[in-house]
Structure 1
């Protein structure tokens, strides 16, 4: 019964969000809606992905894992995570600057939140002129120095801004201070966690006029004060080849620029494979089925499917993600 699975978008309105995500997905939203995120594939309890088409339409991801186990997500993945899907795949539209923030590692997240930590990576799908982001400190610092800068309202002096262009990729391990700047449309791959510690939010207020909650003490325990590395990934794209962008204990992410047609053999991977379309359009042929994947759409290839063909009239760019 398994086949490449697409899921209903889970749109998140954010103070800093915009209009790009619903426009690209051809989804009608209220005129005043500011959509900041689409949880493209999510195993979060309160934001569980649901299959959007095919024989399994309407099925929740957790229920599918419980029913199909390793055939869906891979035997080694099921052995480690059970019915908890280990990754959260997002698209982020920063119409305004996101807060300066940090995420906890596994140990801290387990102790404080009974949750996974949050290591993530970003791929810049679109970047407006002048757009930038912050990743890592501008120099190695200490907790005492950071505290002093915080008290003097000079946090931004410690940030490390980087101008962005389409295709820029950043690896953001737990503990790295970071912030997505306005004008960036980003694909994000991360551990299944919704824990963010806001450090500084530019003194903004929510739609009710209240200051947004900050998490200073939690952030102090989470930050790697010695991290002055941008995390930017150096890579060269190659037509019809999987080029590695990031490999860590939580995920591997490659980019594939598809020209006309390629065949992918996943027999050596005991894992699901997720393809995030970050440019163009393509069809995925798998076990007698054809699945269309347009820009900003995402598809999950079950672990049981070891061979797929990707076709496009011109070209498409796909992020290829697996454990």
Structure 2
């Protein structure tokens, strides 16, 4: 059905901590003064991407997944929801301190198919920018007491970041993206978030946002665990491919193209986000321009493709 990339239209989400960089840095026509997230490859019911080209133009990725499983290497008897979700986040202010459940908890308690393991590739970071990643409690009892006492400075573990950093965030990890950071996030297709702390800030109506302390305490990993990821660099002509993580839920790469590369796809499908530069992709003799802010899927059945130009991409597959 498709012998070309399947380009997708982002879905934007208003957030109390959002800003304008999705417009100023990526050229998106954002709908809100505080646009915090662009869901750029999504089949999630809370924001499915629209397909921009080809036989399914105007349909959503969710519809394509459900009705044309062959594009993703699915047999007719396979069920389940699209497993991945790609976002770009603009943290003009600090995100809440939060945690996500694993698959088992999501299914048993939330009646949702997926928990949320995620990872971040830092696209921009202002000088002095930090994330919260993990905590200093040794036991669940100590963790609960420090939360109850509001001893956030003692509890939360802060880590400086800069552009080009990669952070793998398994479910159960206490985390928050700090002010002045723009990231591309690859995650399981889940929208379950348990908010632990929100700096006591209020919305436009003077209301604080809901916290989810019981659920957060139930799913948090205590003590915090550092997860080592094995990274690997490969070369394909003018393309340098750095594998950032290969884990149960996804494999993620950073591609740096300077020139040309002939590529072979061995996976069921490939998700590609162009985060810098401009170039071209050729499939079956059809040449299409790609540039910063474009997001597409190479569907099942595309075996060979050619890349040219100067590009940076974040790429993922199952």
> In which range does the TM-score fall when normalised by the shorter chain?
over 0.9
Matched with 2:92 is: 95
Distance 1:310 1:242 in 2: 13
Q: 1:83 to 1:63 in 2, by over 3 A?
A: farther
Distance 1:100 1:294 in 2: 33
Matched with 1:38 is: 38
CA contact (8 A) 1:169 1:233 kept: no
Distance 2:229 2:151 in 1: 25
CA contact (8 A) 1:205 1:211 kept: yes
The one of 311, 314, 318 equivalent to 1:319 is 314
- 1:120-175 Cα offsets, whole Å, 9 max, x none, are 000001111111111122x3521111111112211232222111111100000000
Matched with 1:12 is: 13
- 1:64-115 Cα offsets, whole Å, 9 max, x none, are 2233213x11237x765x3621100000000000011000000000011111
- The yes-or-no answer on 1:56 pairing with 2:53 is no
Q: Aligned with 1:96: secondary structure?
A: coil
Matched with 2:161 is: 164
Distance 1:155 1:100 in 2: 10
CA contact (8 A) 2:276 2:311 kept: yes
Matched with 1:213 is: 210
CA contact (8 A) 1:135 1:231 kept: no
Higher alpha-carbon deviation: 253-262 or 173-182: 253-262
- 1:202-236 Cα offsets, whole Å, 9 max, x none, are 00111221110100000011100122427688677
Normalised by the length of structure 1, the TM-score is 0.91
- The yes-or-no answer on 1:109 pairing with 2:106 is yes
CA contact (8 A) 1:168 1:233 kept: no
Q: What is the CA distance between 1:187 and its match in structure 2?
A: 0.2
Which consecutive unaligned segments of at least 5 residues does structure 2 have?
Answer: none
Q: 1:299 to 1:26 in 2, by over 3 A?
A: same
Matched with 1:121 is: 119
Q: Aligned with 2:58: secondary structure?
A: coil
Which consecutive unaligned segments of at least 5 residues does structure 1 have?
Answer: none
Distance 1:249 1:230 in 2: 13
Q: 1:265 to 1:235 in 2, by over 3 A?
A: closer
Normalised by the length of structure 2, the TM-score is 0.92
1:1-323 equivalent positions in 2, closer than 5 A: 1-2=1-2, 3-29=4-30, 33-70=33-70, 72-75=71-74, 82=79, 84-115=81-112, 116-137=114-135, 139-229=136-226, 240-266=239-265, 268-269=266-267, 271-312=268-309, 315-323=310-318
Q: What is the CA distance between 1:34 and its match in structure 2?
A: 0.7
CA contact (8 A) 2:229 2:245 kept: no
CA contact (8 A) 2:91 2:182 kept: yes
Distance 2:249 2:33 in 1: 33
Distance 2:234 2:165 in 1: 12
Q: Aligned with 1:211: secondary structure?
A: coil
CA contact (8 A) 1:102 1:178 kept: yes
Length, aligned pairs only: 314
